[in-house]
Amino acid sequence: MSDISPEMQRRILVFQRTEITEHHIYQRLARRMDGKNREVLERIALDEKRHAGVWQRYTGVDPGPDRFMMFFYLMLAFVFGITFAIKIMERNEESAEAAYGSIADIVPEASQIMHEEEEHEKALMDLLNEERLKYIGSMVLGLNDALVELTGALAGFTFALADGRVVGVAGLITGVAATLSMGASEFLSQRSEGGDLNPLKAAIYTGIAYLITVTLLVAPFFIAENVYFALLWSLFHALLVILFFSYFVSVVKDAPFRPAFLEMAAISFGVAAVSFLIGLAARRFLPVDI
């Protein structure tokens, strides 16, 4: 340990704090799981604590966990699910594993810790299986349908009606009716297929995804004074929804982000563009007076 420079000690201190922080995160997440998933998380939590103890032999101090990072990952797990939070955390650990390898010549234990971190990642990816992830297909259905249908409808309403409040009310009525329709359709679809998914839960996930999207898309028309600015704001919300959900699916499914994002964005905004033209034509050639 006499060969460890002050700069190296500072780096090891960062590793130590990261390990003890992850120990507390995995320990708390384990309480929310059961069966083999809980056993895996508890074992990883103990490994992380042991790793922190190894690093402490080189630093001689106990910095304690990073409370902010604990709160951040636990909040991610609460809002978006344990699998999403853990996969984000494991992605960040990849750079730490490379850093462990870079000091293996000076700190012999670093190679073993790096190897164990790789084993943790494999164990987590193989075992984690949250209920809500089974219903991603239902959520995608709700989001896609809401984005395509409502961006198109709002674009058409904007040019046909040219009144923000009227467009907002029309969009809200359309969205709520479509939410109920999509939920009912998903319920009947899952029931007729007789698969592993609970039809009622699938309908609820579809409906929730649809209703959240409807709220985000319609809200600008009740806030902004200018109807065309409200439409641009609504389309910006649509882009954010597409961006977030594409990222969410890419993380939990280990799928490429860019193709899914570009495909969903192209379809939604393509339909909106066609609806612009239809709405403009309706206002020009049909006897609509608002």
Domain count, the chain: 2
Which pLDDT score is estimated for 2? 47
Q: Which of 129, 156, 176 is the last residue of a domain?
A: 129
Please name which of 138, 34, 130 lies closest in space to residue 79, comparing C-alpha atoms: 130
Residue 139 sits in the same domain as residue 266: yes
235, amino acid identity: L
Report, as ranges of residue numbers, the positions in the chain whose pLDDT lies below 50: 1-2, 290
Residue 14 sits in the same domain as residue 119: yes
Residue 162 sits in the same domain as residue 182: yes
Domain, as residue range, for 261: 132-285
Residue 10 sits in the same domain as residue 121: yes
Is 214 among the domain residues? yes
Question: Does residue 12 sit in helix, strand or coil?
Answer: helix
Q: How many residues in the chain?
A: 290
Residue 138 sits in the same domain as residue 157: yes
Compute CA 109 distance to the chain's CA centroid, rounded to the nearest angstrom.
35
Contact 13, 104 (CB under 8 A): no
Residue 100 sits in the same domain as residue 175: no
Which pLDDT score is estimated for 219? 92
Residue 58 sits in the same domain as residue 117: yes
Residues 6+ apart with CB under 8 A from 210: 142, 143, 145, 146, 175, 178, 179, 182, 183
Is 290 among the domain residues? no
Which pLDDT score is estimated for 72? 93
Which pLDDT score is estimated for 93? 66
Q: The whole model's pTM is what?
A: 0.69
Residues 6+ apart with CB under 8 A from 208: 139, 142
Please name which of 151, 173, 170 lies closest in space to residue 161, comparing C-alpha atoms: 170
